[in-house]
Amino acid sequence: MAERSLLRVENLTTQFELPSKGFFKPPMLLTAVSNVSFDLREGRTLGIVGESGCGKSTLGRSILRLLKSQKGRILWQGRNLLDLSDEEMRAARRDMQIIFQDPIASLNPRMTVGDIIAEPLTVFEPKLTKAERLTRVREIMAAVGLVPEMINRYPHEFSGGQAQRIGIARAVVTRPKLIICDEPVSALDVSIQGQVITLLRKLRKEFGLTLIFISHDLSVVRLISDDVLVLYLGKVVEAGDCATVFDRPAHPYTQALFSAAPVPDPKLARNRQRIRLQGDPPSPLNPPPGCVFSPRCWKATDVCRTEMPPTEQVRPGQSAACYHMDR
């Protein structure tokens, strides 16, 4: 049976208004996410990758309406989230949760672990009795690898890996349909990263979760994701099935990004061609005309510098926006 679409994002644009540099000049607009579209099917994991500042976290928070978007649609099970009232959006968030990058900073230091994990239940399931909430909290603590006896301890008493398990428990305690993982392992040691990824994969299977996994670590994204979205300066430059995109990247930026990723095999690492990009990404306050990657692209021609390339299918399960993509 075909997987049904859980979340469809269409031409989403998120901008920030910055103060002008003069009394009589209009405010400046920084476009962090520009015309992003994708379709996320139920039960799958979408990895979102790109350099720092490319709009990954902004996209994730825009989907939850934690940031205001100026254009586009976010279709959640057929309903446009941008059309919902604040009260309707609050109710919808029961099925849409987030795991943050910094596990310690995301937890209230004045609350016990039990209260932190129980807080979503208090908000979204107020009819539960205190005993029922306690039972749910203990069950979810055990599911994420926390000893239930830790329930009355405070966040500062835990390591980074344990704190992230608390954040994961808080996110899944209401049994949501979608969890946005905003670089959830980037602040953790490598050995702990593997444990957290294994835990997320287990919970996805156990609870039927759909994930959006945001990361700059390509090896982690490949390990956990079914599909991948490559962002550059707020735009999608390549998307598709994870295995296809990683094995045969079509866009020059994707090729450069993947060539910089470390590989565990020393022989393969020595023989691999490294693509070194020149310069820094352009400012989102003043993006270049045409293809946003053209100032750093070794394949760029005049058409790249003047016209935005359309998104085209490269092969089944893969698309890219480039005039000179590898097919």
Cα–Cα separations (whole angstroms), residue 238 to 33, 38, 218: 15, 11, 14
Q: What is the mean pLDDT of the chain?
A: 91
- What does the block give as tokens for 282? 């352009």
Q: How far apart are CA 206 and CA 36, in angstroms?
A: 30
Q: How far apart are CA 274 and CA 167, in angstroms?
A: 37
Paired with 17 in beta bridges are 29
Beta strands 235-241 and 318-321, pairing class = antiparallel
Phi, psi torsion values for 282, nearest 5 degrees: -60, 160
Lowest mean pLDDT segment, chosen from 21-30, 48-57, 317-326 = 21-30
Kindly list the domain boundaries of the chain, sorted by start residue.
Answer: 5-16+30-225, 247-327
Q: Which residue has the tokens 């490294």?
A: 274
Q: pLDDT tens across 133-190, in order?
A: 999 999 999 999 999 889 999 999 999 899 999 999 999 999 999 999 999 988 788 8
Q: How far apart are CA 125 and CA 148, in angstroms?
A: 21
Determine the pLDDT at residue 282: 87
The CATH class for the domain spanning 5-16+30-225 reads alpha beta
Determine the pLDDT at residue 171: 95
Q: pLDDT tens across 199-231, in order?
A: 999 999 999 999 999 998 888 899 999 999 999
| pLDDT at 250 > cutoff 50 | yes
| pLDDT at 81 > cutoff 50 | yes
Lowest mean pLDDT segment, chosen from 60-64, 263-267, 310-314 = 263-267
pLDDT band at residue 20 using 50, 70 and 90 as cut-offs: confident
Determine the pLDDT at residue 266: 62
pLDDT band at residue 78 using 50, 70 and 90 as cut-offs: confident
Q: Is the pTM of this model over 0.85?
A: yes
